[in-house]
Structure 1
Amino acid sequence: MDMTRDTIDIHLANFKPDFVFFDMPLWVPELARKHGSKPIYFTLPSLINFAYFSLQARNLPNDHYFIEADLCRPPPGFPCQAIRLHPHEARVLASMCNGVILRGMRFLDKLSFAMRETDAIVTETCREMEGAYCDFVEKLIGKPVLLAGPVLSKPATSRLDHQFDCWLNGFSHGSVVFCALGSECILGKEQLHELVLGLELTGKHKILANLIYNINI
């Protein structure tokens, strides 16, 4: 992505947009201001995440590395003090926050940089869902938080591949359990066993056999 910087620079010089939205490429704010545009950070994860993990909200220095104990309780002023991580959750998420994601920069560093350089934040939510957390972040960073509403894709209009259509038609209505794990989830052996055991409890043994068969393939 960094190799597109010169190309983006040329496009901004030609189009001179009012706003430039960015996420991962942290050189966008510099280019945006160079051409008189306002950089806007578009956050894909829930804003509750940033509110909970923010170093600034916890009065911690920017070079602080999270430990398990840091994340077992929410920061001061967090809208819902009942939200707390279990130790095993805090341990995993501390590792994720401290992990390096680009050019030696931690995930936490990336968030801090984006919040510092942006002119505003846009997030995929609505006031009814996360209004209190948006107000919390807005007050925390001193910049407006704009709500784009839940961004939902249009219903699919294409038909299933013939292979899958035939396979699904071999089951009675309401008898198929669909497990969506996301594009970045890779199950370990123990996790796969837990999933299979959970499906086995549904009594859909024929589906279970097909699941195992397709995973093995």
Structure 2
Amino acid sequence: MNSKSTPPISKEDKLHILMFPWLAFGHMIPFLELSKLIALQGHRITFISTTKNIDRLPKLPRNLSSLITLVKIPLPKVEKLPENAEATSDLPYDKVKYLKMAYDQLEQPIATLLQETSPDWVIYDFAPYWLGPVVAKLGISSAFFSIFIATTLCFMGSPQTLMGLASDSRTKPEDFTVPPKWIPFHSTVAFRIFEINRIFDDVTGDDENIPATYRVGASVDGCDVVAVRSSYEFEPEWLPLLEEIYGKPVIPVGMLPPIPIDHDSDDDDEEWKTIKEWLDKQPKGSVVYVAFGSEAKPSQTELTEIALGLEQTGFPFFWALRKKSALVDTEEVELPDGFEERTKERGIVCTSWTPQLKILSHDSVGGFLTHSGWSSVVEAIQFQRPLILLMFLVDQGLIARLLEEKKIGYSIPRDDRDGSFTRDSVADSVRLVMVEEKGKVYRDKIREVKGLYVDGDIQDKYVNNLLNYFTLHRRRVKEAK
């Protein structure tokens, strides 16, 4: 992708697009990456989030700062939402519903902002299920941008099914452990019972919580077009099926691998310097990088088995560990007694923020033990790091099934009912993927797919396709008036 200069664009075809992601970094970052790619084509972006989140976003490339305006909007206070919690990473899972309640109170401020700015398009996330009708009333076109892949969306069903209005709506956790009848081809994509049990409250909802499934259904129902963080190269059969299920245009926007930007202060970054010095000393392809995203926190039992499994492998490791799921989390998990002392010569456990992209790009990394969050998967493919999968929340199980089908990732064996696993299964899985002959398929496949899935020219093609759709749609709307 050419990020050195923005091409000239005629005033008539210049778009103003407003971006409104959910308050999770796994959502905000892909929205920001898409914003950058759109701005590279000369279009204007207004990117909205809460005050604290805007301050925590990565710095914009200098050449795009005049085209992307970051707008801070105060998050309303809600009872039971801890002070200063503005993103899912600030909260344990059971308190995220209060963040959604606060987010829902942004409806009026967003409507006012839309009236003042009159963008050509609004691109919004699943959480503001109320935004589609607001935008339509103002005569503005809208796209629901899903950071969930097409496979996940297909599995969850039509807007009517998601909103509980269809006769085929699923009501029991067991209903989600088999592929639904509307998938016409063979697939192993389904939840395991422990995976759906962990998130079932977000399927059914409660007195305090509008379920995520309803939000997705209403967001799809209220938009003009659906954009998906995926590609036909990755999901050739799922994307056309999704268009059929939704009955409206579905446009993949590519995988959105992070665009490298100039880091003026990289050489002075003491934390990265220390990490790099350690990585430089390790043999090529020998290090296991372990990270489970900004939201997942293993239980104490899970943490113990992961740690002792890593110790068993004998491999060097770098572990980005969240001991607490948030500042307000009172249940801090602890590493096994003596673990850090026993592994200090070959392992690093980092409990602060870690530069994941830089670590994954280092030649010493030979495998990535991950929760299979989509952003982490894309980054692993970008740097050709084979995947060992250990899922915790949301659609991670569905992503893992698809990666398994494609031989891009290997899941640590677990008990289907409770999700438990052993240190032996952790050690065996890491060894299999990183060095054993049986795991060569995963090492070969991740190298093979990089050019297919995260190629810069392919990425540009998808963004241009989306922008062409937006431009033609705007012309048709103007002509109709």
TM over 0.5: yes
Shifted more, 10-19 versus 30-39: the winner is 10-19
1:65-120 residue CA offsets vs partner (Å, 9 max, x unmatched): 631220121112315433143333343354442345x9631112112211221221
Q: 1:110 aligns with which of 215, 222, 228?
A: 215
**Within 2, Cα distance between the matches of 1:57 and 1:105?**
15
In structure 2, relative to structure 1, the CA distance for the partners of 1:74 and 1:94 (3 Å cut) is farther
**Within 2, Cα distance between the matches of 1:154 and 1:140?**
32
In structure 2, relative to structure 1, the CA distance for the partners of 1:27 and 1:72 (3 Å cut) is closer
- TM-fit CA distance, 1:56: 6.1
Q: Which amino acid aligns with 2:129?
A: L
Q: 2:192 aligns with which of 86, 95, 109?
A: 86
In structure 2, relative to structure 1, the CA distance for the partners of 1:42 and 1:58 (3 Å cut) is closer
In structure 2, relative to structure 1, the CA distance for the partners of 1:198 and 1:9 (3 Å cut) is same
**Superposition TM-score, scaled by structure 2 size:** 0.40
Q: 1:173 aligns with which of 282, 288, 302?
A: 282
In the alignment, structure 1 residue 149 sits paired with structure 2 residue 254 = yes
Q: 2:270 aligns with which of 162, 172, 179?
A: 162
- TM-fit CA distance, 1:3: 4.4
SS in 1 for 2:233: helix
**Within 2, Cα distance between the matches of 1:78 and 1:200?**
42
**RMSD value over aligned CA atoms?**
3.1
List runs of 5+ in structure 1 lacking aligned partners.
none
Shifted more, 168-177 versus 74-83: the winner is 168-177
**Superposition TM-score, scaled by structure 1 size:** 0.81
- TM-fit CA distance, 1:144: 0.7
**Within 2, Cα distance between the matches of 1:192 and 1:88?**
17
SS in 2 for 1:127: coil
Matches within 5 A, 1:103-142: 104-142=209-247
Number of residue pairs aligned between Structure 1 and Structure 2: 213
SS in 2 for 1:20: strand
SS in 2 for 1:39: strand
**Within 2, Cα distance between the matches of 1:55 and 1:17?**
28
Shifted more, 167-176 versus 15-24: the winner is 167-176
- TM-fit CA distance, 1:168: 4.4
**Within 1, Cα distance between the matches of 2:247 and 2:210?**
24
Q: 2:302 aligns with which of 191, 195, 201?
A: 191
In the alignment, structure 1 residue 66 sits paired with structure 2 residue 179 = no
Q: Which residue of 1 aligns with 2:182?
A: 77
Q: Which residue of 2 aligns with 1:43?
A: 146
SS in 2 for 1:41: strand
**Within 1, Cα distance between the matches of 2:289 and 2:261?**
17
Does the CA contact (< 8 Å) of 2:225 and 2:248 recur in 1? Answer: yes
- TM-fit CA distance, 1:163: 3.7
Q: 1:98 aligns with which of 187, 204, 209?
A: 204
Q: Which amino acid aligns with 1:114?
A: S
In the alignment, structure 1 residue 53 sits paired with structure 2 residue 126 = no
**Within 2, Cα distance between the matches of 1:26 and 1:164?**
40
Does the CA contact (< 8 Å) of 1:65 and 1:98 recur in 2? Answer: no
In structure 2, relative to structure 1, the CA distance for the partners of 1:105 and 1:208 (3 Å cut) is farther
**Within 2, Cα distance between the matches of 1:30 and 1:98?**
23
Q: 1:15 aligns with which of 117, 136, 155?
A: 117
Does the CA contact (< 8 Å) of 2:231 and 2:253 recur in 1? Answer: yes
SS in 2 for 1:134: helix
**Within 1, Cα distance between the matches of 2:213 and 2:295?**
20
